[in-house]
């Protein structure tokens, strides 16, 4: 657990099947549903939903790790930041082709969805779009 003296924030990323990340970092940027927000040590307590997107962990002024999440919940307080996500994938492991395939599938599903399924299909489409963006971003970096 980080204390104020080290100016680190204890970041945890938890999925139903594992404690994916538990690390002290300088800052973590979380894609909140109302906009991205960065959490430094001493952050005001906040609870928010997370939209599909990429979580960036910063240490020493550089991104140490980027993870793609499909949405979830985030809780921050002065000592720690906890993100609950149903799945988390390292951005470097995302493949642009998979993401594109998912996007195509999502578009088709939305086109053929009836009223009931529409909401779920739209959600899936948003996830796929973000996934493509995240995968593309990582491809550009390499």
Partner 1 sequence: MATLKELKTRISSVKSTQKITSAMKMVAASRLKRAQEAAEAGRPYAERMERMMASILDNPGALEGAGALLSGTGSDDTHLIVVVTSDRGLCGGFNSSISRESRIRIRELHGDSKNVKILCVGRKGRDQLKTEFGDAIIDTYEGIGKAGVQFDEAQGVAAKIIEMFEAGEFDVCTIIYNKFVSAITQEVTPRQIIPVQLAEAEDEAETAAPTGPSAIYEFEPSEEEILAELLPANLNVQVFRALLESSASEHGARMSAMDNATRNAGEMIDDLSMIYNRTRQAKITSELIEIISGAEAL
Sites of contact with partner 1 (CB under 8 A): 1, 12, 14-19, 32-34, 44-49, 72-73, 75, 77, 82, 84, 86
User: Closest approach of Cβ 48 to partner 1, in Å?
Assistant: 4
Measured from the CB atom, is 89 or 138 closer to partner 1?
A: 89
Tell which residue, 37, 38, 39, 69, has the closest CA to residue 51.
69
Q: Which is nearer to partner 1, 44 or 112 (CB)?
A: 44
Q: Least distance from C-beta 21 to partner 1, angstroms?
A: 11
Angle at 41 between CA 31 and CA 45, to 5 degrees: 65
Question: What is the smallest separation between the CB atom of 122 and partner 1, expressed in angstroms?
Answer: 15
Choose between 57 and 138: whose C-beta lies nearer to partner 1: 57
DSSP of 97-130 = HHHHHHHHHHHHHHHH--HHHHHHHHHHHHHHHH
Taking the C-alpha atoms of residue 53 and residue 68, their distance in angstroms, rounded to an integer, is 6
Which stretch of DSSP H or E encloses residue 32?
strand 27-32
Residue with tokens 């300088």: 26
Identify which of residues 82 and 92 has a Cβ nearer to partner 1 in the complex: 82
Cross-strand bridge partners of residue 14? 19, 84
Nearest to partner 1 of 17, 112 (CB atom): 17
Contact 55, 31 (CB under 8 A): yes
Q: Closest separation between CB of residue 142 and partner 1, Å?
A: 31
**Cβ of residue 108: shortest distance to partner 1, in angstroms?**
20
């Amino acid at each position: 657990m980080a204390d104020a003296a080290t100016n680190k924030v204890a970041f945890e990323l938890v999925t139903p099947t594992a404690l994916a990340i538990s690390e002290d970092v300088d800052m973590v940027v979380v894609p909140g549903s109302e906009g991205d927000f960065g959490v430094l040590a001493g952050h005001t307590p906040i609870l928010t939903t997370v939209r599909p997107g990429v979580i960036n962990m910063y240490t020493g002024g550089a991104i140490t790790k980027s993870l793609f999440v499909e949405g979830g919940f985030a809780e921050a307080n002065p000592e720690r930041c906890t993100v609950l996500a149903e799945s988390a994938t390292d951005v470097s492991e995302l493949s642009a082709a998979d993401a594109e395939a998912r996007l195509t599938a999502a578009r088709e599903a939305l086109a053929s969805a009836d009223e009931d399924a529409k909401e779920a299909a739209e959600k899936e489409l948003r996830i796929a779009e973000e996934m493509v963006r995240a995968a593309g971003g990582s491809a550009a970096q390499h």
